[in-house]
């Protein structure tokens, strides 16, 4: 059963005349008759009573027409919905991101993009790394903003921002008066760590592996806001980006003297899935928004 057959059937049923129906459809009368006959053969019942060129929808035809009309209407609605949601000017971008990026970076990107494309809408999901990564893998997100990581050839990565990391200490801590600090000085200090679900965890683990000492981790927090809260309360120190949402009263921020203590943030997406024009438009915008960063390359 083909869509063309169904459209031909409804047109013939409306006109109750093969010639007029063929003229509207811009097909020959024989092509129309053949399509209807094939449909009737597939259904196993006649849909029309025929008298010469005149036809009249019978009881089976009326019954079937109601269902076909409803089905084609739903189908057209689905087509229009897909067109609207993927249109680069009016579509939907499904974006997931780490919690901390919702305080400043993601809202700024969306605001600036909607100045260019006011008709584009965003479906947003925020959470810890595992949550948003699962969302991307399940196909619920087009793009994911997260920290750089090793991945397989099913993903692509585009770096968009490199954020300096600081040693964050309670204001009453002896280190707070320093202008900068070497991380070798924090050996034995109470350190507020991060759960593996936290986006910054992998970066810090890699960095500390090269420092030659072990941290005195007294607590692993679920997210960076909790880490900042513990530091502000005087319970320990940690390494954090100095971002909106983390700059709590009671924290001093010390530049780290060792080189390359930064946190790289970027966009991640699946290469084996369709990226709609709306999502592709936002991706291109973000890459041009941060022109000093490296462009999209496959993750290895």
How far is residue 158's CA from residue 120's CA, in Å, rounded to a whole number?
Answer: 22
How far is residue 134's CA from residue 62's CA, in Å, rounded to a whole number?
Answer: 48
- Supply the pLDDT for residue 106: 93
Residues 6+ apart with CB under 8 A from 193: 215, 217, 219, 220, 221, 238
Residues 6+ apart with CB under 8 A from 2: none
- Measured on CA atoms in the order 144, 197, 124, 77, is the torsion positive or negative? positive
Which residues does the chain have with pLDDT short of 70?
53, 80, 84, 149-152, 211-212, 291-300
Helix (H, G, I), strand (E, B) or coil at 285: helix
- Supply the pLDDT for residue 154: 85
- Supply the pLDDT for residue 206: 80
- Catalogue the E-assigned strands of the chain: 48-51, 54-57, 92-98, 121-127, 143-147, 155-170, 190-194, 216-221, 238-241, 251-255, 262-270, 297-298
How far is residue 115's CA from residue 136's CA, in Å, rounded to a whole number?
Answer: 26
Whether residue 6 contacts residue 72, with contact meaning beta carbons closer than 8 Å, is answered with: yes
* % of the chain at pLDDT higher than 70: 92
- Supply the pLDDT for residue 159: 86
Residues in the chain: 300
Token pair belonging to 47: 């849909």
DSSP per-residue codes, 128-196: -HHHHHHHHHTTS-SEEEEE-----TTEEEEEEEEEEEEEEEETTSGGGG-S-B-GGGGTTSEEEEE-T
255-281 as b/e, with b when 16 or more CB fall inside 10 Å?
ebeeeebebbbbbbbbeeeebbebbbb
| Phi, psi at 223, each rounded to 5° | -150, 170
- Supply the pLDDT for residue 226: 93
Task: Kindly state the DSSP code that residue 57 receives in the 8-state scheme.
Answer: E
Q: Hey, what domains does the chain have and what are their CATH numbers?
A: 3-85 (1.10.10.10), 92-160+265-298 (3.40.190.10), 161-263 (3.40.190.10)
How far is residue 111's CA from residue 24's CA, in Å, rounded to a whole number?
Answer: 48
CA angle 117, 120, 105 (to 5 degrees): 80
How far is residue 10's CA from residue 287's CA, in Å, rounded to a whole number?
Answer: 49
What pTM, to 2 d.p., does this model score?
Answer: 0.70
pLDDT digits (tens, 9 = 90+) for 65-83: 999 988 888 887 777 677 7
pLDDT digits (tens, 9 = 90+) for 37-72: 999 999 999 999 987 767 889 999 999 999 998 888
């Amino acid at each position: 059963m083909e869509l063309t057959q169904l459209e031909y059937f409804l047109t013939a049923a409306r006109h109750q005349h093969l010639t007029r129906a063929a003229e509207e459809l811009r097909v020959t009368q024989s092509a129309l008759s053949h399509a209807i006959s094939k449909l009737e053969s597939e259904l196993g019942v006649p849909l029309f009573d025929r008298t010469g060129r005149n036809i009249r929808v019978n009881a089976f035809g009326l019954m079937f027409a109601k269902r076909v009309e409803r089905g084609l209407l739903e189908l057209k609605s689905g087509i229009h919905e897909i067109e609207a949601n993927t249109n680069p000017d009016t579509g939907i971008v499904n974006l997931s991101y780490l919690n901390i990026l919702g305080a400043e970076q993601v809202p700024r990107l969306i605001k600036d993009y909607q100045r260019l494309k006011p008709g584009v809408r965003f479906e947003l999901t925020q959470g810890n790394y595992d949550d948003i990564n699962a969302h991307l893998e399940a196909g619920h997100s087009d793009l994911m903003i997260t920290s750089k990581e090793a991945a397989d050839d099913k993903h692509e990565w585009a770096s968009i921002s490199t954020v300096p990391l600081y040693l964050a200490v309670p204001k009453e801590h002896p280190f707070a008066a320093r202008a900068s600090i070497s991380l070798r000085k924090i050996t034995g200090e109470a350190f507020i760590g991060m759960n593996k679900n936290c986006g910054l965890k992998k970066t810090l683990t890699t960095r500390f592996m090269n420092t030659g000492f072990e941290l005195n981790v007294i607590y692993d927090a679920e997210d960076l806001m909790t880490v900042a809260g513990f530091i502000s309360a005087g319970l320990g120190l940690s390494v954090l980006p100095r971002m909106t949402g983390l700059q709590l009263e009671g924290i001093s921020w010390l530049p780290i003297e060792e080189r390359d203590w930064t946190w790289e943030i970027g966009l991640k997406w699946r290469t084996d899935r369709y990226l709609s024009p709306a999502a592709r438009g936002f991706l291109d915008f973000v890459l041009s928004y941060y022109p000093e960063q490296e462009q999209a390359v496959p993750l290895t």
